[in-house]
Amino acid sequence: MIIDRRLNDRNKSASNRQRFIRRYKAQLRRAVTDAVAERSITDMEQGADVGIPVRDISEPQFGMGPGGDRDFVLPGNREYSRGDRLPKPQGGGGKGDGSGQSGDGGGEEDQFTFTLSKEEFMNLFFDDLELPRLARTTLGESEHFRYKRGGYTPNGAPMNLSIPRSLRNALARRIALGAPLRRELEQLKASGGSQDEIEALEDRLNNLPFLDDYDLRFRNRYRVAEPVSKAVMFCLMDVSASMTEQKKDLAKRFYILLYLFLTRKYRSVELVFIRHTENAEEVNEQDFFHDPKTGGTVVLSALKMMEEIALSRYDSSDWNIYAAQVSDGDAFGADVEKSRAFLADHLLPLCQYFAYVEVPDRSDVATPLGAAYSAISDERFAMSEIFDRSEVYPALRDLFHKEAA
Amino acid sequence: MNTASPVKIAPLSRGGEWTFDLLEAYDDAIADIAHNEFGLDTFPNQIEVIASEQMLDAYAYTGLPICYPHWSYGKQFIQHSESYRRGQQGLAYEIVINSNPCIAYLMEDNTMPMQGLVIAHACYGHNSFFKGNYLFRQWTTPDGIVDYMVFARNYILECEERYGITAVEDIIDACHALMHHGVDRYHHPSPLSSDEERARLLAREEHNWKRYDEIWTTVPDADDKSTDIQQHSGRFPKEPQENLLYFIEKHSPVLEDWQREIVRIVRKVAQYFYPQGLTKVMNEGWATFWHYTLLNRLYDKGLVDDGFMFEVLQSHTNVVTQLPYNHRAYSGINPYALGFAMMRDLRRICEKPDDEDRHWFPDIAGGNWLEVMDFAMRNFKDESFIAQYLSPKLIREFHLFAIADRADDDMLSVSEIHNEQGYREVRRLLSRQYNRDTNVPDIQIVNYNYRRDRSLELEYRQHRNRPLNKEAKEVMKHLARLWGFTVTLNTVDDSGKVKETLSVEAPKY
């Protein structure tokens, strides 16, 4: 008996794979964290090669250890004769062991490496951020769909019926089915056939249905995923000495999440990185996160630069402007008040959304910048403090709720 | 082209393309030769064509069409698919399952000659071995295995739903660690039947339910299993028990019914695989011999063309290559190579014996090769098969030699090589290499301190002073989890003296 099983479910092992991932979540999370640190914001959404130490996932069994007396038989003797003596191989004799069981142990690696799919990777990343389910689905799959015309199908809803196509089909059918009848009729008439036969043929010709079921053609529509339009995301960060790597890592996660959110919503998202100490500069992502810089802090410089770039390159009639500023909240003197005023009066009118994220050292003291910003009341402006990864998402919660709806 | 003789039969097909009709035609042609010319006795075949991803799935279950869910199968699946994706490993051409009907998976990417090879190899070679070999006849229930696994899978899924994935996983992990010690090697197990299993479970549950009474739970139970233990004044068990999982299933003081049932399921799976580990050389050798013989016969009859045979022989040759011990890719003795060589040698000894063969194998030299091979297939396992039939000619051909590794000698020495003086010893040592005790330590339960702390004592009888591996401690932790009280493993040397004691307390919950 021969059975074709090719159409059966191809992913029988998927559930076991999930169980494996579930069991080693802690290790995998660590691997994902490393991957996030290395990756650019824009290519977050890929799978990743991750490794788990082999000893963590081994399945122990009773077996024989090295030592004791053993004999083994090997094939391929070329040079030895009885009584020859040779040194013991190092490491318990993996090579010399002829027994079937341990024979394949030779090339073991210390790391069990495998590839996480994009979904698995993103899920672990979201788990790390303690992303709630609603936001997960928004980020996970939500794309805006649009129906696009694409050809014709033989069945569909009446409202999609294409009358010209259907009639054209009907006409073709009538010509094709009627041709032999007409030919016969002509022959009969030319040869003066009997009236009955001629009438019968004419009847058959007239009885060809004008429109038949299989003439019908419907306009076909299919769904295409379509982000709405384009956006630019300004990443502003204070990179003065007080911003540690750990704080930058939090900042990066915040940016990633915002970026993911925007890519779901807009067809294309551009990124602008502006870092500042006492003066601001536009840099690439690598320098933004990793290039150390020392100096004082003048927040206003970055805000001004953002306005400049926005006005010159991103016309707000074409672009949706989002901005996220991350700082540890340190600012001095008049800069604080000037920044607040500039943000409220000049920048916010340009923006869809401006997030200020503070990564302070202590939670009990208000920082100068935080204190000043908290005076801004504008629904496009949001601010929050982050101490820990799990707080990254709540900082964006309002945005998700408002815009995902 | 030779079109002269009208008697000549046209080949079944040309080229690599296969179709379902062709598969059937080949199957019929091979079946005809196998059954009618060579008298192979087989289960009916169920040939299933699958895609390569499905082959990866089938791999993960290590030769069962269906299995309960467990992370370790996910690990295996990931391992296989990763190395397949990276091109480090090709896929097996086939997987065959010891069931009735005998299920064989064919991969859709194979060419027609490869499909022919696989049909001959799996559906007639392995199949007849499963049906004939005494170990398989005694230890497996091909009629019931698929149904039983369906039952097992559903049962475990149900347990996961009731008790949580982690709780179930803990039990299965622990059982898997002891899997090789879950086989009765000398008792004949009762055949599997999923209906009976289900009925037994229902009865047990109903009994518990009817009997349920808060007050009576505090009163010692008259028909409790433990009574027979209590009456033992001395040791229990009376005889050491080698089937650890069975003992746990029956006597563990802490396991609940569903947990015992899981232990039982793992035990049954272990039992099903037990003969496969003992007959690798014979089983593969037998199947390889038969695909070689059957397909050559097909060629002689003119049913396949030269192109077909070229392709078949090329892959056949790859399969039966034996690398020398010092080769970079050497990974032990290739069971296909040794098995095939021995099977072919048996036929040669019967058909064209020389003086050496008459001296070594007086009872089969010149005999009927079909009968001799059939007898060998039915009544041996690797260990005894090699001890009985490995000929000096093959020892020479494989250039076999024996190495002695002694603890009190910091050098290895070559004890025997392939010469007149060494044949018997090389053969004896090679045969012993396939003895299960060489690879699986002999660990037995010797005492259950029922009246005291309920601890369990085990004994590892050392074989030639070989110590246990480092994982032993981890395995003991698993055992302690199943037992619920302290478990102790004494390593005993050849003279009966305790050399080492490994004791693990039960985890606290």
pLDDT in tens, A220-276: 888 776 555 678 889 888 887 778 888 888 888 888 888 887 777 777 788 899 988
Cα end-to-end span (Å), chain B: 81
* A376 and A261 in a common domain: yes
- Give B27's contacts in chain A (Cβ within 8 Å): 2
* B103 and B39 in a common domain: yes
Identify the band that residue B214 occupies on the pLDDT scale cut at 50, 70 and 90.
Answer: low
Asked, for residue B77, whether it belongs to a domain, the answer is yes
**Which of B282, B405, B440 to probe the A interface (max A CBs under 10 A)?**
B405
> Lowest-confidence range among A155-169, A281-295, B223-237, B312-326?
B223-237
- Contact check, Cβ <8 Å, B430/A73: yes
Structure tokens at B18: 């296969």
Determine the residue of chain B that is closest to A1 in CA distance. Answer: B46
Are the C-beta atoms of A240 and A294 separated by less than 8 Å? yes
* B234 and B161 in a common domain: yes
Asked, for residue B192, whether it belongs to a domain, the answer is yes
- Contact check, Cβ <8 Å, B71/A103: no
- Say how many domains are in chain A: 3
* B85 and B49 in a common domain: yes
Residue A375 contacts B, CB cutoff 8 Å: no
* A318 and A261 in a common domain: yes
Identify the band that residue B184 occupies on the pLDDT scale cut at 50, 70 and 90.
Answer: confident
- Give A76's contacts in chain B (Cβ within 8 Å): 322-327, 330, 398-399
- Contact check, Cβ <8 Å, A60/B475: yes
* B33 and B124 in a common domain: yes
* A323 and A248 in a common domain: yes
Which of B414, B438, B462 corresponds to the end of one domain? Answer: B438
Identify the band that residue B404 occupies on the pLDDT scale cut at 50, 70 and 90.
Answer: very high
* A163 and A188 in a common domain: yes
Question: Vertex A273, ends A270 and A279: CA angle to 5°?
Answer: 150
Enumerate residues 93 to 112 of chain A having a beta carbon within 8 A of any beta carbon in chain B: 93, 95-104, 106, 112
Asked, for residue A80, whether it belongs to a domain, the answer is no
Distance from CA of B186 to the nearest CA of A (A): 21
Are the C-beta atoms of B67 and B149 separated by less than 8 Å? yes
pLDDT of residue B6: 45
| Neighbouring C-beta atoms of residue B509, cutoff 10 Å | 6
Asked, for residue B308, whether it belongs to a domain, the answer is no
Of the partner residues B181, B330, B411, the one whose CB lies closest to the CB of residue A62: B181
pLDDT of residue A117: 83
pLDDT of residue A9: 72
* B329 and B396 in a common domain: yes
* Residues B345-363, mean pLDDT to the nearest whole number: 94
CA distance A323 to B95: 58
pLDDT digits (tens, 9 = 90+) for B253-301: 999 999 999 999 999 999 888 999 899 999 999 999 999 999 999 999 9
Residue A70 contacts B, CB cutoff 8 Å: yes
- Contact check, Cβ <8 Å, A76/B325: yes
- Say how many domains are in chain B: 4
Are the C-beta atoms of B388 and A56 separated by less than 8 Å? no
**Which is it for strands B102-107 and B45-50: parallel, antiparallel or unpaired?**
parallel
- Contact check, Cβ <8 Å, B405/A72: yes
* B341 and B254 in a common domain: no
> Lowest-confidence range among B18-27, B216-225, B336-345?
B216-225
In A124-278, beta strands by DSSP E: 145-153, 218-225, 230-238, 268-276
Q: Which residues contact B239 (CB under 8 A, 6 or more apart)?
A: none
Which of A222, A242, A266 corresponds to the end of one domain? Answer: A222
Identify the band that residue B134 occupies on the pLDDT scale cut at 50, 70 and 90.
Answer: very high
In which domain, by residue range, is B199 found? 145-210+229-277
Asked, for residue A18, whether it belongs to a domain, the answer is yes
pLDDT of residue B26: 94
Phi, psi dihedrals of residue A377, rounded to the nearest 5°: -120, 105
pLDDT of residue A398: 66
pLDDT digits (tens, 9 = 90+) for B289-304: 999 999 999 999 999 9
Average pLDDT score over chain B: 87
Q: DSSP string spanning A85-136? A: EEEPPSTT-TTT--STTGGGGTT--SEEEEEEPHHHHHHHHHHHTT--HHHH
Distances (CA, A) of B489 to B159, B176, B235, B502: 31, 18, 16, 5
Residue A194 contacts B, CB cutoff 8 Å: no
* B50 and B34 in a common domain: yes
CA distance A309 to A232: 11
pLDDT of residue A103: 33
More confident residue, B444 or A221: B444
* A324 and A345 in a common domain: yes
Structure tokens at A378: 């504008």
* B329 and B426 in a common domain: yes
- Give A70's contacts in chain B (Cβ within 8 Å): 404-405, 464, 466
- Contact check, Cβ <8 Å, B180/A61: yes
Cα end-to-end span (Å), chain A: 56
Task: With a cut of 80, say whether residue B34 has pLDDT above it.
Answer: yes
pLDDT of residue B212: 59
Are the C-beta atoms of A221 and A149 separated by less than 8 Å? yes
pLDDT along chain A (405 residues), means of 10: 80 83 84 79 77 81 87 90 85 41 41 82 76 55 65 85 91 88 87 84 87 86 68 86 81 84 76 88 86 81 90 81 86 86 88 85 80 84 83 73 54
What percentage of chain B carries pLDDT values higher than 70?
90
Would you call A382 helix, strand, or coil by DSSP?
strand
- Contact check, Cβ <8 Å, B47/A99: no
pTM of the model: 0.74
Asked, for residue B41, whether it belongs to a domain, the answer is yes
Residue that the structure tokens 């196509």 belong to? A165
- Give A80's contacts in chain B (Cβ within 8 Å): 401, 414, 417
In B159-292, beta strands by DSSP E: none
pLDDT of residue B159: 93
* B364 and B259 in a common domain: no
More confident residue, A240 or B87: A240
Are the C-beta atoms of B282 and B339 separated by less than 8 Å? yes
Asked, for residue A147, whether it belongs to a domain, the answer is no
Amino acid at B421: Q
Task: With a cut of 80, say whether residue B416 has pLDDT above it.
Answer: yes
Q: Which residues contact B398 (CB under 8 A, 6 or more apart)?
A: A75, A76, B322, B338, B341, B418
Are the C-beta atoms of B14 and B269 separated by less than 8 Å? no
Distance from CA of B143 to the nearest CA of A (A): 17
DSSP bridge partners of B69:
none
Task: With a cut of 60, say whether residue B226 has pLDDT above it.
Answer: no
Identify the band that residue B232 occupies on the pLDDT scale cut at 50, 70 and 90.
Answer: low
> Lowest-confidence range among A88-102, A132-146, B155-169, B197-211?
A88-102
pLDDT of residue B188: 65
- Contact check, Cβ <8 Å, B77/A17: yes
- Give B335's contacts in chain A (Cβ within 8 Å): 100
pLDDT digits (tens, 9 = 90+) for A340-367: 999 888 888 888 888 888 888 777 777 8
Task: With a cut of 50, say whether residue B146 has pLDDT above it.
Answer: yes
In which domain, by residue range, is A207 found? 153-222
The ipTM (two decimal places) reads: 0.81
* B164 and B273 in a common domain: yes
pLDDT digits (tens, 9 = 90+) for B381-390: 999 999 999 9
Among residues B364, B184, B366, B389, the alpha carbon closest in space to that of B285 is found at B389
* A332 and A195 in a common domain: no
- Contact check, Cβ <8 Å, A70/B417: no
Structure tokens at B340: 């095939």
